[in-house]
Amino acid sequence: MRRQITGFSNPTVKLLRSLRDKKQRRLHQRFLAEGLRLLTDAREHGRLPEMLVMAEGRDEHPLLQALEADVLAAGGEVIETSADILSKITGKDNAQAVTGVFAQWDTGLAQLDRAAAPIWLVAQALRDPGNLGTMLRTGDAVGAGGLILLDDCADPFGVEAVRASMGAIFTQSLAQASWDEFSGWLRQGDGQLVAASLAFGSQPYRGATYQAPCFVLVGNESRGLPAEYESACDMHVTMPMRGSADSLNAAVAAAVLAYEVLAQLSPETAISPR
């Protein structure tokens, strides 16, 4: 179905604006994604928006035309509106010319197949949506099975996290769980849990032996991992800090460690830094 919206007070505009709020996203089980590139990535990985909102006077593009046709064919809705209204929906002064509304999907641990990849990324209490999006991008880059978020993390379906993922929100499996849920699930099958840690006794990350499937765990940006979580890990590794800073950014640490794991477990697809 196609329609046009011309008023800021339109109920659909109010609904879409509300999706910038975490509580409303959870209530409606929907989220926003902006930009043709991101929406094309979603389409190429089998996820279509339920609603496509496009700015009047936009530049035509074959990928946008293909996306529009697929949304309509799937029974979705295509809306045309002004650039000002689209900016009001997204909260950006320079909003992209197209925004999609997607249904959230199952993020339970049960839908993960740990044998699907040799590497998985795990983050505990990650609060920065930019870091969350970066970890999704890292997972995509190293061929990880996905990202598992533990405890009180930033919302992966928030606008900032989706934008920072650069489309990886649609390419990576995603799970959310408490620590107890995750640890119980992990120990039901194969899996090496490796913590990026500054704890005494941690070994250099390049001298460690990784085993597939390897679950790379990083903690909160400021507090790190709780002691009881660290004690439950199979191995603790550290990265050299040669400057005055005492730790790496959580997402950066995950990326450095993930590439070392990749170099060991899938050397044919990785360029080893050695």
**Mean pLDDT confidence for 97-121:** 96
How confident is residue 230, by pLDDT bands cut at 50, 70 and 90? very high
Is the pLDDT reported for residue 271 higher than 80?
Answer: no
Higher pLDDT, 199 or 163: 163
Question: 91-102 burial by CB neighbour count: b if 16+ within 10 A, else e?
Answer: eeeebbbbbbbb
Tokens representing 29 are: 């089980």
Residue 96 CB partners (closer than 8 Å, separation 6+): 34, 35, 36, 86, 90
pLDDT on residue 94: 74
Residue 130: C-alpha distances to residues 2, 24, 194, 220, 229 (Å): 34, 21, 23, 13, 24
pLDDT of residue 221: 85
Helices (H) and strands (E) in the chain, counts: 10, 12
Contact 56, 82 (CB under 8 A): yes
Contact 168, 142 (CB under 8 A): no
Q: How confident is the model at residue 249 (pLDDT cuts 50, 70, 90)?
A: confident
pLDDT at 202: 85
Per-residue model confidence (pLDDT) at position 266? 82
What pLDDT shows up at residue 244? 61
Which residues have C-beta within 8 Å of that of residue 220, sequence separation ≥ 6?
A: 124, 125, 126, 127, 250
pLDDT band at 274 (very low <50, low <70, confident <90, very high): very low
Mean pLDDT of 77-91: 92
Domain ranges, ordered by start, for the chain: 2-103, 109-269
Q: For the packed helices 11-18 and 83-90, what is the interaxial angle rounded to 10 degrees?
A: 40
How crowded is the C-beta side of 68, counted as CA atoms within 13 Å?
16
Q: What is the pLDDT of residue 272?
A: 44
Tell me what the mean pLDDT of segment 74-86 comes to.
Answer: 95
Instruction: Give the pLDDT score at 273.
Output: 46
Q: What is the pLDDT of residues 180-228, one digit of tens each?
A: 999 999 999 999 999 998 776 789 999 899 999 999 999 998 888 999 9
104 phi/psi in degrees, rounded to 5: -70, 155
> Which structure tokens are listed for 44?
């190429």
Q: State the CATH class of domain 2-103.
A: alpha beta
Q: Name the pLDDT band for 92 (thresholds 50, 70, 90).
A: confident
Long-range pairs for 109-113: beta carbons < 8 A, 24 or more residues apart: 109/148, 109/175, 109/177, 109/181, 109/182, 109/185, 111/173, 111/175, 112/145, 112/146, 112/148, 112/173, 112/175, 113/145
Instruction: Measure the CA–CA gap between 165 and 144, rounded to whole angstroms.
Output: 14
Percent of the chain with pLDDT over 70: 94
pLDDT band at 269 (very low <50, low <70, confident <90, very high): low
Residue in the block written with tokens 């996820």: 47
CA count, 13 A, side-chain hemisphere, 135: 35
- SS3 label, residue 232: coil
Domain 109-269 has CATH 3.90.1410.10: no
